[in-house]
Amino acid sequence: MTRARFQAGFRRNRICLGVALVCAALIRPAQDCVGSRSGDAGQDPDLLYFSSPAAVKRMALGYDCLAADFYWMRTIQYYGRRDEADRRAVRYKNLSTLLDITTTLNPDLMDAYRSGSLFLSEPDPIGAGQPLGAVKLLDKGIAAHPKEWRLPYDKGFIYFWFLKDYKAAGESWLAASRLPEAPPWMEGLAAMALSKGGAMDVAISLWKRQLEESDRANIRENARNHLLSIRVARNIWTMEILLDQYSRRYGSLPASLKELARGLGRSLPLIDPLGTPYVYDPETGEVKLSPESKVRYLEVPESLKEELRMTMGEEFKRR
């Protein structure tokens, strides 16, 4: 009798699980269907029926990890549907809530903390433009996984690149460096950030690690775009600084960037990293990317320009 009851209970659980899977799989198509029939999808397709992580956890009926996987899939869809995002009143209003629900259901879903923090931090239109929300999400992950060095590393990354708080970045990386499995380079990264020196080199190092270590294609592509953007910004800033030097020496701007190179006796990056020549206006001295460039330029902090100006200033003095 006991065995028969166990088998009956097991069958019921399998049926319930199957129903739960089917219902979860149909949530998004049902939302799309309702939205299209109601005529509201074009206005603001950003309806979230359950926004309380605690309530969703109760409704999961013990299948927390399974529900977390579905919410994580929903989060990726929500972030990745750019055409839908363009129709929302606020592009990624519910992103932080979806991530909170996902990590409440499964605190061990590391990708939700790490990728989710980038989704939140990137400015509009790439992301939600909520770096403080990203820090909050990572703090939640750190509380659940106090020995995982990658989470304070990511937190330092958010502070360094998006919030420009180098002291907080250095402190996060220093905390990460003290964890058992932290790589040896972490302590040096913390030291550079805390000394406020080498910001350009730190930025390049951070994006290179994103490019090399992430297992998500969109994260790697984002890192690649940032690295290309840093190279473009450094090239343009370098030529702007040299144009100023040329103007002081000769009393006018050069007719072309090649003339600038000849006049100062140095080689210049006349084409962008993907092979398209930069555009130069001899009337104003402006240097910019060509409209035909294949580089997807993302904003680079102006603070890096000041660092480059100081470095080149020292170089001019030595000459």
Amino acid found at 285: G
Domain borders along the chain are 222-318
Band of pLDDT at residue 34, cut at 50, 70 and 90 = very low
Residue 6: what pLDDT?
42
pTM above 0.85, yes or no: no
The number of beta carbons lying within 10 Å of the beta carbon of residue 143 is 10
**pLDDT, average across residues 238-266:** 93
% of the chain surpassing 70 pLDDT: 81
Average pLDDT over all residues of the chain: 82
Calculate mean pLDDT across residues 49-75: 86
Q: Which stretches of the chain are DSSP H helices? A: 2-38, 53-59, 64-80, 82-85, 95-105, 110-121, 131-144, 150-157, 166-177, 185-194, 199-213, 217-250, 257-264, 303-318
Whether 107 shows a pLDDT value over 90: the answer reads: yes
Cα 58 to Cα 50, 54, 64, 67, 110: the distances in Å are 12, 6, 9, 11, 22
Burial environment of residue 176 by CB neighbours within 10 A (0 to 12, 13 to 18, 19 or more)? buried
pLDDT at 149 over 90: yes
Q: Name the residue among 113, 3, 97 with its Cα closest to residue 53.
A: 97
Alpha carbon dihedral 165, 169, 170, 173, in 10-degree steps, equals 180
| Tokens 């990890």 -> residue | 65
26 pLDDT more than 50: no
pLDDT, mean of residues 52-71: 88
- Region class of 301: left (phi > 0), else alpha (psi between -120 and 50), else beta: beta
Q: Report pLDDT digits (tens) over 177-203.
A: 999 999 888 888 887 777 655 577 788
pLDDT of residue 42: 47
**How many degrees, rounded to 5, is the angle at CA 217 between CA 214 and CA 219?**
55
Q: Match 């009143």 to its residue by tokens.
A: 89
pLDDT of residue 17: 44
Whether the Cβ atoms of residue 188 and residue 205 lie closer than 8 Å to each other = no
Average pLDDT estimate for 248-271: 94
What pLDDT score was predicted for residue 315? 62
Q: How confident is the model at residue 91 (pLDDT cuts 50, 70, 90)?
A: confident
Can you tell me the mean pLDDT for 146-162? Answer: 95
pLDDT band at 22 (very low <50, low <70, confident <90, very high): very low
What average pLDDT score do residues 237-251 get?
Answer: 93
Q: What average pLDDT does the segment 240-264 reach?
A: 94
Instruction: List, as own/partner pairs, every contact residues 170-177 make where C-beta atoms lie below 8 angstroms and the sequence separation is at least 24, other chains included.
Output: 170/194, 176/149, 176/150, 176/151, 176/152, 177/149
